[in-house]
Structure formats: structure tokens, C-alpha cells
């Protein structure tokens, strides 16, 4: 026999829906907090200093080397890359139809005509 002081309650659709809704809200809150934490961690590990600038000048490299952020080997390698990049940007453009040409060598010029009397 049911206890008369505590009437028996039967689960209703409203009670079950409320439990599901509260569970989903709690799960969403936990997921949001985890995403927020993950983004904060990512931001801490990826700073602007970690990504190299688009281009370096020799002065930038010298400063980084002087400040101890580049080893001698890294400095020499980067310096060579900057110089090669600069030389490539100064070279005359070539088209697919014409092969690249070397600058004229003054030693290959023909001898001047003999003008002795």
C-alpha cells in the first residue's frame, strides 16, 4: 500500500523533458568551457613571434643574431637566402618563349679595329 504521507509520483512527460533539457544545457555549457580553454591554450602557444615575418632585411637578421635569437649557422643561412631572393627579384623577367640570358661579358667583345698608320 502506498504511504499516505508521501504520495507516489509518476514520471510525466514534462518532468522527463525538463531533465533532458537541463542535461543538454549542462553539456553545452561544459563544451563551451572546453572550447574556450582550448582556444586560450592555442593562443598562448601560437604568438606572432612564432611565425616568421613575410620577409627579412639584412638589418633584421643582424638584429636577431645580435639579440641571440639566431645562431651563427641560422644567421648565415638566412642571410644567403635574403641575398639570393634580392638577386632574383633584381633579375630581368623572362617569358616562357625566351630563355634567360646572361649579362654580356666584356671579355667576349670583339677587338677594336686596328687604327695604326
Q: What's the rounded Cα separation, in Å, for the pair 53 and 83? A: 16
Q: Specify the pLDDT at position 67.
A: 93
Q: Specify the pLDDT at position 21.
A: 92
Is the pTM value of this prediction over 0.75? no
Over residues 21-66, the pLDDT tens digits come to 999 999 999 999 999 898 888 877 765 555 554 577 889 889 999 9
Which of the pair, 33 or 105, is modelled with greater confidence? 33
Q: Specify the pLDDT at position 49.
A: 54
Q: 37, 43 in Cβ contact below 8 A? A: no
Amino acid at each position: 500500500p502506498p504511504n499516505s504521507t508521501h504520495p507516489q509520483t509518476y514520471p510525466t512527460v514534462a518532468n522527463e523533458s525538463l531533465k533532458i533539457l537541463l542535461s543538454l544545457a549542462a553539456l553545452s555549457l561544459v563544451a563551451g568551457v572546453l572550447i574556450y580553454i582550448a582556444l586560450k591554450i592555442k593562443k598562448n602557444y601560437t604568438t606572432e613571434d612564432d611565425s616568421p615575418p613575410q620577409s627579412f632585411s639584412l638589418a633584421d637578421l643582424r638584429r636577431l643574431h645580435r639579440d641571440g635569437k639566431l645562431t651563427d649557422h641560422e644567421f648565415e643561412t638566412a642571410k644567403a637566402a635574403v641575398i639570393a631572393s634580392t638577386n632574383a627579384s633584381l633579375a630581368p623577367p623572362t617569358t616562357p618563349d625566351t630563355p634567360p640570358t646572361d649579362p654580356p661579358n666584356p671579355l667576349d667583345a670583339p677587338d677594336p679595329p686596328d687604327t695604326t698608320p
